[in-house]
Chain A
């Protein structure tokens, strides 16, 4: 790691203190409409610690250069920082090989990569894939694009009214034409934690590989891809306290090696002539063009940060907040919580009788409280619950009980205005 970092190095915090964690995130100190910012839109994107911001700043100030190309000093430095970040990610999710970590723009691009490379290469007419009723648009639309091209069938695992998948129905969906399962780890609307280990095992019993959309998974739990035995795991940097514009596709080596490139360009080739191009080895085969180098470096720094705080205790704190908020909101008259699965994480969606979520959002914003309102890029799921939209509060490790209390106060204010 680079030298200048010592100045901004995170002081190791053995004991979790939410106040101390908050100090690491400069943006949380600001006020909105004269009130302290209460940031409860973490499922959309999380805030970034100064450590990550400084690491990216440092990269641009001291190391900026193109990677994998130059023989000069800066290019070597930049390449080293970027590839070091890949190692950190490999370790963090316990991938077997470093070349199983593909840098992408984010979860969406990671899923598209699998759809366009694995899907286009392997799917034939009348093949089937399985997704679930609680997928984000980014795990629906790429498959529909491939479906329309290849004439495959997309089957959808249904959910119960608590927002849990029917595992027995899922088991019965497999047949000889099933080619892939693509499944969300944690729902961005319902907060449901799907039993992916079991579901991966079921798919593997049928010889079917599994892609996990981990956009909401990785910020809220420790991921071990070997233990899960998933074949692909897609995630974004920006929801896990890292920068926007960078994400990862983890894929098992044997799959990645057999898959054709996703995009063509520089860096993904070994040699090019007008007659024939030899592709580079993984991971570079899937990383055409100059990547988001600063983003990659920033994601590496994010992992350093998460490794240096007592992350598991922080996650417990986050979970306790969810329980606290869920109980507080349930006791308000006229509120319906959308998503009441037994295993939930960090997301609290709700609707209030006779008040549209957008109006709730505007009224809360007046008190400096940021929540998300709308369909959360999950329109089919909204249909399941027969709501056009929901209000969603989503928590991170730096949120506090006081902030939940502010949310409750804001909701009462909205109810009063619309009474």
Chain B
């Protein structure tokens, strides 16, 4: 597989075309914006947390295929997970796109997130892949309403 095909895997193209959980959530507990000033990628995350579990999560906004698909896959992955589990996934995901960590061991835990492994070959696109995750991380750990990748 060429690096380009590795980057634009079916999962990513599919989630870009039909993003999951792509809607506003009026009764969200947390609403937070993620912004990548360099690219103009801009998403808003909506999260509902009950007893430390991410009960519901959705997003809306605009960005490149990598950032949009990443937000979509992330939302389906962390829904139902505890805050701690979500934070662990973020760490694993971050290692994956930076080409760090232990891929064989982590691939199983990552599931569909593993589709973003191709990003390692494109350092300029790492920020696209991690924007939604950084935003989630900020939402889960602070009281900020906006986060940027800069």
Contact = CB atoms under 8 A, between A and B. Distances in A.
A35 B63 CA distance: 28
A140 interface: no
B39 A374 contact: yes
B66 A382 contact: no
Contacts of B17: 354, 418
Contact of A358 (B2, B13, B39): B39
Interface residues of A, number: 17
A359 B62 contact: no
A415 B128 CA distance: 20
B34 to A, nearest CB: 14
Contacts of B124: 362
26 contacts: A355-B65, A356-B63, A356-B64, A357-B64, A358-B39, A358-B64, A358-B66, A358-B125, A358-B128, A359-B8, A359-B64, A359-B65, A362-B122, A362-B125, A366-B2, A374-B39, A374-B40, A375-B40, A379-B40, A382-B40, A388-B62, A388-B63, A389-B39, A417-B8, A417-B13, A418-B17
B28 interface: no
A359 B63 CA distance: 10
A290 B63 CA distance: 44
A356 B42 contact: no
Interface in A369-398: 374-375, 379, 382, 388-389
B38 interface: yes
Nearest to A379: B40
| 7 closest cross-chain pairs (CB), A and B | A356-B64, A358-B64, A388-B40, A366-B4, A389-B40, A359-B65, A359-B64
Interface in B52-83: 62-66, 68
Contacts of A141: none
A388 B42 contact: yes
A374 B63 contact: no
A109 to B, nearest CB: 22
Contacts of B128: 358
A363 B64 CA distance: 12
A292 B13 CA distance: 48
B136 interface: no
Contacts of B2: 366
A68 B47 CA distance: 64
B65 A418 contact: yes
B7 interface: yes
